[in-house]
Each structure stands twice: as structure tokens, then as C-alpha cells.
């Protein structure tokens, strides 16, 4: 029986892609004005800085998502004033968080799940601070009983540690958890590998067709029905 419903955040609870596009625009305008760097040059240098961060860290961890770190490296590498790192990071995150819109249906779904008695949790890659800011802006935080971030467990999805810590915090067995996320590899296969049930949220239809064994959900209106199906038959309804 499913007792805990766990969610990824980005592109699951809100539209990351649209919010990121707005934040990236703001960042490009800033570097054009203050660093006299055109969009193409900035995009290339940003990618290089990300590669350096990844190589230096050596493992997938929350610091990979630290934008201030990658801006610092970009500025150092090109002999530019370091004070821009903090401004750029704040500009990016402030714009993204301000632009974040809840996924259709989720704001109706969360109170229904809560009222039905499910334990609600978050399992997410990233640092806690910005994930808390996103959930606060989206007015979702009051519905959740706990969060587990890759910062907290020092391992990114699909690391089992992150999923097992979710189950531990929920106080239930992994098989009593349902994990919902937009990434097949990170969310769905990661959760299943930890012994949980999983739903793939809104995958591109052509990708979903390549994985008919994976249960999908395209709108949160259908989640309560899916939960009933899992409890009654452990199979697709
Ligand atoms: Mg995601």
C-alpha cells in the first residue's frame, strides 16, 4: 500500500524550462551590458566553466548546480572582476524563481493527497537553499513533510541513497513510496532501483512509446486514480 508520495521538483512541480529561459535572458543582457560579452561568447565560456567545475569535482554532487561557482571560474579564466559572480548568481536565481509557474493541476492535487493522509516528500538534486526558495515562491512548501536534496546525502539521483533517505524520513518501507519525476533515468529508474513505485511525469510521447513498461502521468488530475490502481492491483489501470 502506498503511504508516501514523493516528488522531484524541476519540470515536475513547476516548469523549469520556461523559467530557465527567462533567467538565461536576464543573464545574457547583464553580461552584455557589464562585461561587454556577446551571447555567443558567453554561452561558450559558460559551457567551458561548467566543464571545469565538473572535472574538478570529479563526482556528481549538488555543487555541480552551483551557478556562483561556475561564474567565478568564468570570470577568473578571463581576467574579469570577481564581484560579478555573486550579482550574476543572484540575478539568475531571482529571475528563475520569480518566473516559476506551478505545473497545471498540482495546486489542486497536493491538498487532495494531504487530506487523503499521504505523507508528502521531495527528493531532488540541488542545494537546499534554492529548492526551498522555489517551493516557497510556488506556495507548495506547507504541503510537504520533508525534503531530501543531493546536497544533504552527497549524491545525485539515481543514487539509491537519496531515495532510501526519503523512505527513512517518511518512516515507511521503500515499497510503500511512490516517486514522481520527469526523468526516466534519474527519477523513475532511480526510485525503482531503490524498491519504490514510480511514475514518469509528462515524458515526450515518442520517448514514452519506447518504454511501454513504464507508467506515465501527463496531468495531476489522474494521480489519485493511479494511486488507487497501485494499491489495488500493483498494475496499470
Ligand atoms: Mg526534474
pLDDT digits (tens, 9 = 90+) for 20-50: 999 999 999 999 999 999 999 999 999 999 9
The alpha carbon of 221 and the centre of ligand 1 are apart by a number of angstroms equal to 19
The alpha carbon of 162 and the centre of ligand 1 are apart by a number of angstroms equal to 14
**What is the H or E stretch that residue 187 is in?**
none
The alpha carbon of 158 and the centre of ligand 1 are apart by a number of angstroms equal to 12
- 92 and 198: one domain? no
The alpha carbon of 141 and the centre of ligand 1 are apart by a number of angstroms equal to 17
Domain final residue pick, 99, 127, 160: 99
The alpha carbon of 18 and the centre of ligand 1 are apart by a number of angstroms equal to 13
pTM of the predicted structure, to 2 decimals: 0.93
Cβ atoms of residues 195 and 176 within 8 Å: no
Provide the pLDDT for residue 225: 82
**Alpha carbons 134 and 99: distance in angstroms, whole number:** 10
The alpha carbon of 79 and the centre of ligand 1 are apart by a number of angstroms equal to 35
pLDDT, mean over the chain: 95
- 121 and 229: one domain? yes
Q: What total of structural domains would you count in the chain?
A: 2
Domain final residue pick, 83, 99, 115: 99
Domain that holds residue 184: 4-15+101-233
The alpha carbon of 237 and the centre of ligand 1 are apart by a number of angstroms equal to 25
- The whole-number average pLDDT for the span 75-83 is 98
- 50 and 118: one domain? no
- The whole-number average pLDDT for the span 136-143 is 98
pLDDT digits (tens, 9 = 90+) for 51-63: 999 999 999 999 9
Distance set, CA 61 to CA 13, 58, 154 (Å):
22, 9, 6
- 143 and 53: one domain? no
- 186 and 120: one domain? yes
Cβ atoms of residues 37 and 26 within 8 Å: no
For residue 40, what are the contacts with CB-CB under 8 A and spacing of at least 6? none
- Give all strands of the β-sheet with 4-7 in edge-to-edge order: 146-149, 119-124, 4-7, 177-181, 197-201, 216-217
Provide the pLDDT for residue 232: 62
- 91 and 120: one domain? no
- 82 and 123: one domain? no
Q: 182 — phi, psi (to 5°)? A: -90, -10
- 53 and 118: one domain? no
Quickly state the pLDDT bin for 234 (edges 50, 70, 90): low
The alpha carbon of 131 and the centre of ligand 1 are apart by a number of angstroms equal to 12
Amino acid at each position: 500500500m502506498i503511504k508516501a508520495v514523493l516528488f522531484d521538483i524541476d519540470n515536475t512541480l513547476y516548469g523549469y524550462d520556461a523559467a530557465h529561459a527567462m533567467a538565461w535572458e536576464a543573464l545574457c543582457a547583464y553580461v552584455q551590458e557589464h562585461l561587454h560579452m556577446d551571447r555567443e561568447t558567453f554561452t561558450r565560456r559558460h559551457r567551458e566553466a561548467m566543464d571545469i567545475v565538473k572535472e574538478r569535482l570529479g563526482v556528481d554532487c549538488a555543487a555541480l548546480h552551483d551557478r556562483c561557482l561556475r561564474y567565478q571560474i568564468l570570470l577568473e579564466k578571463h581576467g574579469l572582476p570577481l564581484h560579478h559572480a555573486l550579482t550574476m548568481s543572484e540575478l539568475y536565481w531571482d529571475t528563475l524563481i520569480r518566473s516559476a509557474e506551478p505545473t497545471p493541476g498540482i495546486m489542486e492535487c497536493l491538498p487532495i493527497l494531504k487530506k487523503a493522509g499521504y505523507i508528502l516528500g521531495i527528493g531532488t538534486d540541488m542545494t537546499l537553499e534554492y529548492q526551498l526558495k522555489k517551493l516557497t515562491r510556488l506556495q507548495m512548501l506547507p504541503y510537504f513533510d520533508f525534503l531530501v536534496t543531493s546536497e544533504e546525502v552527497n549524491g545525485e539521483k539515481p543514487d539509491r541513497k537519496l531515495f532510501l533517505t526519503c523512505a527513512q524520513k517518511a518512516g515507511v518501507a521503500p515499497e510503500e513510496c511512490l516517486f514522481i519525476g520527469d526523468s526516466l533515468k534519474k527519477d523513475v529508474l532511480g526510485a525503482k532501483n531503490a524498491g519504490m513505485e514510480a511514475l514518469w511525469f509528462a515524458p515526450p510521447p515518442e520517448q514514452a512509446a519506447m518504454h511501454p513498461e513504464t507508467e506515465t502521468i501527463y496531468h495531476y488530475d489522474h494521480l489519485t486514480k493511479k494511486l488507487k490502481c497501485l494499491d489495488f492491483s500493483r498494475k496499470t489501470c
